[in-house]
Amino acid sequence: MTEGMALAEALTVEHRAIDDGIEAFLGDEGDPQALRDAMLALRRHIYLEEVFLFPPLKPTMMMPIFVMLREHGELWRAMDGVDAAVTAGEDADAACRDLLVLLDEHNKKEEPIVYPRADADLDDEVRAELADFLRDGTYPEGWVCEQA
């Protein structure tokens, strides 16, 4: 996270970087490391939202957060499908394209509805914790999203 960047902007930047990694795999070069990095980044991103961002916003945004959690489960299962295809040496292009569609639909809701609340509603301590995690946090090995 760049110094002085709003949380909403930093979270959106992560979305774009994840999309870019998946698209790099689908590109002419078929970069498998870009895909591995994108899958790791997406799992980390979901972790930071479910552990740091959503809990303090849930009381005032229960329905949008419920939708985001449900979609995280869909994304997680789609990532498992991508991982399984890659591990088996199968063509993962279709699974990656499906994942990109899910991400696009999810991000179109999350970015304009949930992310602005991060900057407006979170207290300074939670914002600082989120900013620290964005800079260099990792999610615990074996962690799985709530609705996976």
User: The domain at 7-136 falls in which architecture?
Assistant: Up-down Bundle (1.20)
CA-CA distance, 130 to 91, in Å (whole number)? Answer: 36
Per-residue pLDDT of the chain (148 residues; tens, 9 = 90+): 556 789 999 999 999 999 999 999 998 778 888 999 999 999 999 999 999 999 999 999 999 999 999 999 999 999 999 999 998 989 999 999 999 999 999 999 999 999 999 999 999 999 999 999 999 999 999 999 999 9
Beta carbons within 10 angstroms of residue 118's beta carbon: 23
Contacts by 34-41, CB closer than 8 A, 24 or more apart: 35/82, 35/86, 35/92, 35/96, 39/79, 39/82, 39/83, 41/14, 41/17
Classify 30 in phi/psi space as left (phi over 0), alpha (psi -120 to 50) or beta: left
Contact 101, 94 (CB under 8 A): no
Structure tokens at 70: 């449900």
User: What is the pTM (predicted TM-score) of this model?
Assistant: 0.94
Domain boundaries in the chain? Answer: 7-136
